[in-house]
Amino acid sequence: MYDPIAEGLTRGWRHIDASTLTTGQQFDTDVVIIGTGAGGGIAAELLTQAGFKVLMLEHGALYSSSDFRQQERWAYPQLYQDGAGRKTKDQAISILQGRTVGGSTTVNWTTSIRTPANTLQYWEQQFGLDFASSGALEPFLDLATGRLNISEWALTPNHNNGALQRGCQALGWQYTVIHRNVKGCANTGYCGMGCPLNAKQSMLVTTIPVALDGGATLISRVSARELVWRGNEIQELWAVPVDAQFQTDPRLKIRIRARHYVLAGGAINSPALLLRSKVPDPSGRLGKHTYLHPSVISGALFAEAVNGHQGAPQSIYSDQFVWPEAAKAGFKLEVPPLHPVLMASKLTGMAEAHADLMRQFNHLQVMIALLRDGFHPEAQGGAVQLDSDGEPQLDYPLTEYLWDGVRRAYLAMAELQFAAGAAAVLPVHDDAQMYRSWSQAKAAIAELPLQRYRATLASAHVMGGCNMSADPATGVVDSFGRHQQLKNLTVCDGSILPSSLGANPQLTIYALSWRICTELIKKLSV
Amino acid sequence: MQRRQFIMLGLGAGVGLSLGLTLYPVLQSSTQQRSDAATLVLDALLPALLQGALPAEAAAQQAALRRSRDAVLQFLPFLPRRQQAELQQLFLLLQQRLGQLALLGHWLSLNEMPLQSRLQLLSSWRDSYLATLQQAYHGLRELLYGAYYGQPQHWPALKYQPLEFNPYV
């Protein structure tokens, strides 16, 4: 089967696996890009094509379609941050983030949504970012849409998504057919374990190969540890290899000097590097206001087989509840792909009860409600902190405002699942049971104690921590990702978002990064 | 409250307070001791948690338990070092206190402790007022179920039949 990565390496791509190095190294380059996800991938292609000498760094490994195994026991430790075991500091919310070349774009579920107009308006009101009134982001959303072959999913949704669609139709609720970044997708359902067919237009198979063909260098299995700066300028970056389990290995040091530094490590790791580097932070917002779209889960049993592991993982969403009245938390309705480890670890119960549920695996339909955080005084996100190893952990408080959203989300999902024909609904909460009717579920959900650990919460979208703002007093970077204090540092990843989006973030990050790098190229070309 | 329930709550509280106070057991222990503790605790909890899921035949059951325990041990090094230390600490404390519990409950060894007692212990953590114990319950539960259901040998009961483009070796 065609493997663009294997072929590129044969052609002579410059790739260094830092874990194989035996001596310290020094690199001099025009631009170093830290991270190869949605932001770093776009930056690598544009800057290489503009003629700059580019060096890409990635904590994860360089894996390709020949390496991907369609089993969670391989995919989670090899492709995800902390083996897919990343959690908030109090362990109340699980966080799924990619950690491999291509970042989360290599393992995401391909959902591509343009930045909601309401979100852009909020950014304009609160942070002076004029994307809403100027339309400045639109051309870049179009460019990314074209580059990554983003289009409406034309095939019939799988049964998991079909239930969401059917429920919305029965209740008269809004729903949308999802746009996906795929080309030649065989509708198999393994997006979350790395696309085996190179159909997903992730950074791994699009922009990064273009950059490498253009002469860029990629160092994988390397951890950026500190930016050394003086005055208003970064002087060098130092990094260390990681071992086979992706733990930092300080046996040797890799020093990188660049004209410009592009930080694209994601909304937890980027602030962490800046915190380790003790960069200036006069706004006090570095590593703060980190948003998660905390997600609530509801399972349902259907008489007919759902087979939620087969087919495009996400093809329908509903925005029926995303923008309620201002005092309430909005939430977006989607479904996740269903594979055994993800389900077994998230479903509640133990022993016989858990085993009974797992035996009905193929009849399980599962919905998620993504809470839109960052738009209310009681949803100001979390704070990235460093542990004694210098590794990040996110302290994310759960407030009454969010818990109210959790309850309404359980209710909406149960109502929808029954409307779609579910025989029973199980809100994924330690005190919930399998409910056989909407009225029974409604009464029970109203009484569920809402507190951390009792309700299973997860996140696949991390945003903020280096937020954009027109005013240096309320942001870490400006609207072009330029660090407010360090003149040769640009940030372009999910960390620059000033709030959550109320939508899956990859397309917004592509577009913002494209805009940021277009401006950066102008500056560096002078 | 029955005597056994009381012991369980005491065990839970003891572990919780110890976890909250000190990393002493981890600092004082050898690699071998840590590994032994993890193995012992996993061997004690897996059969309880997996009741109803394990194959009925004894040899197949033992193989499934061994596979799951090994999968947990292989996965642990991918967690952040901070979390690894917390889990090692939990395993060491549980090893000590499960041993005490076996004696108090008049069982000669952990293997003789009824599965229901082990489940009761886990339930007491889930329902504890101590965040540390709730974290231990959810953390171990996710690890153990993830390890069991990650193995293809355990999928026939689910009728989960994934496509395989690249064989797992």
Residue range B75-86, pLDDT digits in tens: 999 999 999 999
> Which residues are bridge partners to B166 per DSSP?
none
Compute the nearest-CA separation of A344 from chain B (Å).
6
Instruction: Provide the sign of the torsion angle of the four alpha carbons B109, B111, B115, B120, taken in this order.
Output: positive
CA A384: distance to chain centroid?
Answer: 16
For residue A277, what are its two tokens? Answer: 């580097």
Residues 88-147 of A with CB under 8 A from B: 90-91, 94
Compute the nearest-CA separation of A148 from chain B (Å).
24
The verdict on A209 and A338 lying in the same domain is no
Q: Chains A and B: how many Cβ contacts under 8 Å?
A: 136
For residue A307, what are its two tokens? Answer: 């087979």
Q: What is the CATH number of the domain that holds A351?
A: 3.30.410
A70·B166 Cβ contact <8 A: yes
Tell me: pLDDT of B25 over 60: no
The verdict on A471 and A343 lying in the same domain is no
What pLDDT does A267 receive? 98
In a domain, A388, yes or no: no
Lowest mean per-residue pLDDT among A185-194, A294-303, B100-109, B118-127: B100-109
Which of these, A70, A60, A67, lies nearest to A35 by C-alpha position? Answer: A60
The verdict on A216 and A98 lying in the same domain is yes
For the entire predicted model, the pTM comes to: 0.95
Which of these, A343, A224, A368, A231, lies nearest to A293 by C-alpha position? Answer: A368
Q: What residues of chain A score a pLDDT lower than 70? A: none
What pLDDT does B21 receive? 40
What pLDDT does B103 receive? 67
Helix, strand or coil, per DSSP, at residue B8: helix
> Which residues are bridge partners to A83 per DSSP?
none
Q: Least CA distance to A347: which residue of chain B?
A: B142
What pLDDT does A327 receive? 85
Token pair 């200036």 in the structure block, residue: A280
A85·B79 Cβ contact <8 A: yes
Tell me: pLDDT of B6 over 50: no
Distance CA A446, CA A423 (A): 20
What pLDDT does B108 receive? 62
**Residue A69 at interface with chain B, using a CB cutoff of 8 Å:** yes
> CB of A316 within 8 A of CB of A152?
no
For B86, other C-beta atoms within 10 Å of its C-beta total 20
**Residue A68 at interface with chain B, using a CB cutoff of 8 Å:** yes
For residue A261, what are its two tokens? Answer: 């530094």
H or E segment to which residue A230 belongs: strand A222-230
In a domain, A381, yes or no: no
**Residue B139 at interface with chain A, using a CB cutoff of 8 Å:** yes
Of B77, B78, B168, the CB nearest to A69: B168
The verdict on A496 and A483 lying in the same domain is yes
Q: What is the CATH number of the domain that holds A222?
A: 3.50.50.60
**Residue B122 at interface with chain A, using a CB cutoff of 8 Å:** yes
B71·A362 Cβ contact <8 A: no
On chain A, the residues whose CB falls within 8 A of the CB of B27 are: none
> CB of A469 within 8 A of CB of A129?
yes
A387·B80 Cβ contact <8 A: yes
The verdict on A326 and A237 lying in the same domain is no
The verdict on A112 and A255 lying in the same domain is yes
What pLDDT does B18 receive? 47
Judged on CB neighbours under 10 Å (0-12, 13-18, 19+), A102 is buried
Number of domains in chain A: 2
For A514, other C-beta atoms within 10 Å of its C-beta total 24
On chain B, the residues whose CB falls within 8 A of the CB of A458 are: none
Q: Least CA distance to A86: which residue of chain B?
A: B79
The verdict on A344 and A425 lying in the same domain is yes
> Which residues are bridge partners to A291 per DSSP?
A463
Is residue B23 very low, low, confident or very high in pLDDT (cuts 50, 70, 90)?
A: very low
Tell me: pLDDT of B99 over 90: no
What pLDDT does B168 receive? 85
Distance CA A129, CA A123 (A): 6
Judged on CB neighbours under 10 Å (0-12, 13-18, 19+), A22 is exposed
> CB of A63 within 8 A of CB of A194?
yes
What pLDDT does B112 receive? 78
The verdict on A144 and A166 lying in the same domain is no
The verdict on A366 and A446 lying in the same domain is yes
Of B77, B141, B164, the CB nearest to A70: B164
The verdict on A230 and A357 lying in the same domain is no
> CB of A394 within 8 A of CB of A91?
no
In a domain, A77, yes or no: yes
**Residue B84 at interface with chain A, using a CB cutoff of 8 Å:** no
**Residue B168 at interface with chain A, using a CB cutoff of 8 Å:** yes
What pLDDT does A433 receive? 96
**Residue A169 at interface with chain B, using a CB cutoff of 8 Å:** no
Mean pLDDT of B13-42: 67
What pLDDT does B13 receive? 47
On chain A, the residues whose CB falls within 8 A of the CB of B86 are: none
The verdict on A50 and A110 lying in the same domain is yes
**Residue A63 at interface with chain B, using a CB cutoff of 8 Å:** no
**Residue B104 at interface with chain A, using a CB cutoff of 8 Å:** no
Among residues A451, A473, A495, the one where a domain terminates is A451
In a domain, A86, yes or no: yes
**Residue B10 at interface with chain A, using a CB cutoff of 8 Å:** no
> CB of A323 within 8 A of CB of B21?
no
Mean pLDDT of B38-52: 95
The verdict on A411 and A359 lying in the same domain is yes
The whole domain housing A470 covers 4-148+201-289+461-525
Q: State the best of B78, B126, B133 to mutate against chain A, taking most chain A CBs within 10 Å.
A: B78
Please report, for chain A, how many H helices and E strands are present, in that order.
15, 23
List b or e across A376-398, with b for residues whose CB sees 16 or more CB atoms inside 10 angstroms. beebbbbbbeeeeeebbbbebbb
Compute the nearest-CA separation of A237 from chain B (Å).
23
What pLDDT does B109 receive? 67
A190·B48 Cβ contact <8 A: no
